[in-house]
Amino acid sequence: MPTQQDVPDHYTHGNLVGAIRGGIESMGKTINSVTVDDLAPVDEFHIGGRQASEDFLSQLNLTPEKRVLDVGCGLGGAARFVASRYGCQVTGIDLTPEFIETGQVICGWVGLSSRVSLHQGSALAMPFADRVFDSAYMLHVGMNVADKEKLCSEVSRVLQPNSLFGIYDIMRTGDGELSYPVPWATTPASSAVATLAEYREALNKAGFAIVAERNRRDFALASFDQLRARTAAAGGPPALGLHILMERNTPDKVQNMIQNISGGRIAPVELVARKS
């Protein structure tokens, strides 16, 4: 199971701001003209990217007056999308310092520093008061967090009663050894993939009632097919894309993901739960 140091070790790039700035310039844009939508291919580090975010987050009844928590926010891409699309005040927390530092810079580029606040820290011990948020979500985060019960309990602590908590995670759906590396882990030792039943139990123990579930296996495989087609048509990866985050072994990680999902061992799954 991953330690708290395994996670930043796995995700740290070393010059992420420079790499993203270079991609922006390759697109013919500048940091003064780039938009949230332009950044989506690198900004949303989960299967299906922006389309997945739109499908998933539309279920959370987000409105401008709500204070929203992004758990495991990464670069803050989903947080910026929520702030720009729904007008919410969004707070993000992530364990990887470089992700938070880069995300803060990007918020400045797109003019969202006043509506998106990003913090470095653990989702198991968040530096927020009780009941300060009206909604929470996480996208492809639980695979790096072994203690799902503590995670759900901590999210419950900071949420107002009757608030929605959305989860879009990769979950165990069948038997068999997973092929590594994958985007969230290089080896099994740093992976914490769990079953849907384990998520349900953790949510129930934390005082949540599940109101919606959706397995996104078919959507995931279609997304990978579309990615392959776009890459082939362009003769290589785009100027901005998740290859910037995953670096040299991106093809291996993507291929292993496809094999693991198509083989029925894992799938991305959406859960929406309400705090009682």
Which residues have a Cβ under 8 Å from the Cβ of 132 and sit 6 or more positions away?
67, 158, 160
CA 105 to chain centre: 18
Query: How much of the chain exceeds pLDDT 90, in percent?
Result: 87
CA separation for the pair 44, 51 (Å, rounded):
10
Is the pLDDT reported for residue 230 higher than 90?
Answer: no
Is the pLDDT reported for residue 241 higher than 90?
Answer: no
Task: Evaluate the CA torsion angle 209, 77, 146, 69 in order and state its sign.
Answer: negative
249 confidence band (pLDDT: 50, 70, 90) = confident
233 confidence band (pLDDT: 50, 70, 90) = confident
Higher pLDDT, 246 or 255: 255
Mean pLDDT across 261-270:
98
pTM: 0.96
Which residues have a Cβ under 8 Å from the Cβ of 38 and sit 6 or more positions away?
24, 27, 29, 240
Is the pLDDT reported for residue 1 higher than 80?
Answer: no
Mean pLDDT across 246-252:
85
Is the pLDDT reported for residue 145 higher than 80?
Answer: yes
CA separation for the pair 229, 225 (Å, rounded):
6
Higher pLDDT, 132 or 190: 132
Q: Which helix (H) or strand (E) holds 42?
A: helix 36-43
Question: Any bridge partners for residue 269, and if so which?
Answer: 169, 215
Which residues have a Cβ under 8 Å from the Cβ of 81 and sit 6 or more positions away?
36, 40, 43, 44, 50, 53, 57
DSSP string for residues in 48-114 = THHHHHHHHHGGG---TT-EEEEET-TTSHHHHHHHHHH--EEEEEES-HHHHHHHHHHHHHTT-TT
CATH topology of domain 6-275: Rossmann fold (3.40.50)
238 confidence band (pLDDT: 50, 70, 90) = confident
CB contact at 8 A, 103 and 17:
no
User: pLDDT by residue (tens digit) across 166-216?
Assistant: 999 999 999 999 999 999 999 999 999 999 999 999 999 999 999 999 999
